[in-house]
Structure 1
Amino acid sequence: MFRMKLLFIKRIFITGILSGGLFCAVTAFAGVKAQSGCLPHTVVQAETDVAELRKQLAHWDKRYHTQGVSEVSDETYDQMRARLVTLEQCYGQQTPVRLPSSVRYTMKHPVVHSGVRKAASDNEVEQWLRHRKNVRIQPKVDGVAVSLVYSHGKLTHMISRGDGHHGLDWTEKARHIPAIPQGITTELTDVILQGEIFLRRDGHVQSRDGGKNLRSVTAGLLMRQANDEQLRELDVFIWAWPGGATDMQYYLNTLTEWGFPLTAQYTKPVSGPESAAEQREAWYRQPMPFAGDGVVLKQMPPQDTSRWQTGHNHWSLAWKYPVQTAVTEVRHVQFPVGRTGRITVLLSVEPVIIDGKTIKRVAMGSLAVWMKQRIHPGDLIVVGLQGHGIPKVREVIRKTETPPELYVPGKEDFHRTSCLTYTPRCRQQYLARLVWLGKQLGMNGTGVRSWGKLADHYTFSGLLDWMLLDEEQLKAALGKVRGVNFYRQGNAARQKPFSVWLNALGVPGKSPLPADWSLFRQESRLKTERNHYAQALEAEGVVASLQLQGVDGFTGTNPDSHN
């Protein structure tokens, strides 16, 4: 079975060609929504988001088209463009993307640059290959699409893809790129080649290095007025010879003889879905001389180039690599408080898939980290995976213009000795203390839900109020099975040694502990932090409760000396 034989986790991509890219149609593929369909927006919210996205993209486009500068990664730009198209399609607000007024595509392509449809799933690849023969696979090089026009063997024009019909005249740039032959040996009057100009990076591993924004760097070199010395680092991968040879081996040999060896090196036959998957995985993992965002499966295109169109063609299919980052919208911002009073920040986001993993929540770490960016619901952020697959915020792409008010807890309200008793404001830290206490005392099956039910059912006040409940009361709040288990676990906890109880209560410090509370209080006076914590435990009635329950070490006996 195809799905069982794939060498990598199944990836899902959004299909579609987006209009308006300078060099190639922007692909809506990355950061795929975990649930299909339109984004959960009201009409008013959608109108606002569309306006903000258009404004942001227009700014990036102007910088990109007029100065060759990209302020965001290629992957992020593609996803933002895809997001806009999705909103426009869902809410009927589609408008063409317009180039900055200073950019005009004036040079006509001899043959139209056709678009490539993107596979939405592995299954679509399988279906596409099922009824096709003589299929080849090539890497989808991450660069800038161009036409190279040779007349009587001499290079006469290099034209950017533009809108597929017309592009920019980059012939002068081609003169400074050694990898582009200025002449070829042929008896043909005219030769038209289509391919990708890219920044050569030997040893590039896509699965490890990602795109590194090399497409934008390449575009910048070609867009600048001056001829940068780095143009010498550019190379070209030819992926089409419109109207050329129909015999594949002759086709590849001829391109090599003309000075385009990469085409033969990276064009492989595929016998079916399994071999295509194996080659795709190999190119994703092994060193290559270029960045690539996937592979293209293709048959020989029609010889009659008048049938070629800028939209999707029927003879090729792109199969993208998994994305490295994803653009997503923040839905909620929470500020969990831990047992020691440490405040962290947790973002709930619109679900996205990165490297086969569905991301719904992103931890930002400490409150101080959040304060630097102040991320709110409605903001668009870029999320990536770090070590062990942990999602992290890479950057904030767009701040919402109407951020909602957030309750942000202050450090002065939560600290090591706060919330030893229950109040609504203290709920998170109070329950976190109980969860820690239960875990350290070996009370299995007493998680935050059980503690929360007890605290709510009996309106707890002190940290150890649960020790006053009998078996029937526990069953009334937790149910028969959980109640009996909790009762037994609680009885066993009462027999734990003094040192275990001190750790369960969260007493700071790692130095050796004395045998009982009176000795501990004498020693703790020499340690300010411990002394302060011990005073808080006494003031909040925790020590008195343990004495009342007869817990060893709090009644004057030495549990560690009992054998």
Structure 2
Amino acid sequence: MRAEIREHDRRYYLLDAPVVSDKEYDELFARLKALEAEYPKLVTPDSPTQRVGGAPASDFKTVKHAAAMLSLDNAYEEADIRAWDERVRKNLPTGESPSYLVEPKIDGLSCALTYEDGTLVRAATRGDGETGEDVSANARTIRAIPLRLEGKAPKLLELRGEVYMTFADFEKVNEDETRAGREPFVNPRNCAAGSLRQKEAKVTAGRRLRFLAHSYGVWDGTEPSSHSDFLSQCREFGMPANSFERCADIDAVAVYYARFKDKLMPALAYAVDGLVVKVDSFAQQRRLGFTARSPRWGIAYKYPAQQATSVVKAVEFSVGRTGAITPVAKVEPVFCAGVTISSVTLHNFSEIERLGLRVGDRVLIERAGEVIPKVVKVVEKAKGAVTIVPPPKCPDCGSPVIKEEGLVAYRCDNVSCPAQLRRTLEHFAARPAMDIVGLGDSAVDQLVSRGLVKDVADIYGLTKEQLLGLDLFKDKKADNLLSQIEASKAKTLDRVLFALGIRHVGEKTAETITERMDLGGLLEASASDFQALPDVGPVVAASLHSFFASAEGQALISRLKDAGLTLKKPERKIAA
């Protein structure tokens, strides 16, 4: 009976060719459940009835990936994809030409499934690429994910793919939400992501999630020779895998991109936001290797940004962690690229001048992928529109606003500005940085307003009593935040360097630097030492040296060390 149910799951999710109705399937499942209830000793861990069970999760444990789950670089134009092809060819031996594999880029949530001796033992979200959340109980409820692989699977295998939701299932879930008096979900991706992180697996089970494999992190044994062979092998294991097209060269990729966009994508039952192009040969992938953030052998070929029009109702000013003041347009809510947009960045006042933008104008808004929406142009000037001018004083602390020569940004001149401190703390706690869950905007606001935190090192001196004195925290929530703060002490040096928020030092730059320097090297390096590193120019080098040579910077590092931060160089293992 179990084998029969697994076969029906395989036909439904792998072959898209069911041979029984949903009603017949449910009846068969009910008979198995009743039989196992009558004879409990017959229950096995991989039985279809064991997909849902156990108590609700209080939280999700953090787990370390066996190999880093890196993100792909993006291309939006054919010129970008051809430039990438040139880089690939340049980095391969002379006369060696790559062939490409092209897959739909599913708009879902990345997940890694670990199998031992063919049995599913763990499922984890991508998280920050190095660590993710253990969502095993919820992943087991997804019928598309085999609890046990078929055939001769490797002793240890970690498969990676996307958890997603079809358009039809998304509509059904929203109908259920509306009937229950709850707000419907905005789009399938948000629904899938929220569903996989439910505390009760029974809720996840009712959300009709699916899974398609697209890569692997660990393969204990003889590995496939190519990506296309790997995807075919997945199907032999009974694992649904992404569809793909093999292309002999980049010209064929461009032709397929146009055909997929115009003819194939509209017929898909689920959302995609472009294609993923990979070098098919695993041997060539290994030769090409990785940058600090992404593989050189793959790229996301995304569709052009989606656009919509709206009216600028007002402009507000946001103070960043370096004091830069960013104008933000508040617009009439408009739906674009899967989300409702009500705020749009205007970047700086030079951009406002370039656009000729005033409050009241109708504008064209653009959003691509996860990029913050921006104004492309003014499409209709309004009568009586109001000119946008820089604020004379900081909107948060009231200090004078200055504009440094040669820079486009206006800045608050107060180094003790509460808004700058709040943004600094939020940046420090963010997922790509120290990943301190629970230290969000509201918590930071209260910590700053009560004077409990005056810099990032103060975070590590917080006590439970202090947290319980804030409106946001009860006993368990305080314990959870303190646990997150303690766990962040183990973050590697690249994460800490990025978290410090040194001007001009982004996530990729921090990774590049700490691959070549330890903490001692950072503290002793001159500006020229920094500039000798790859991708570090004079402005970044000067900013780094200014921080690490300053008494304030050295004192902050010393306090972080005293608080127990390890500050070790990253040891990265990357999937082949």
TM-score by length of structure 2 reads 0.39
Max Rg structure = 1
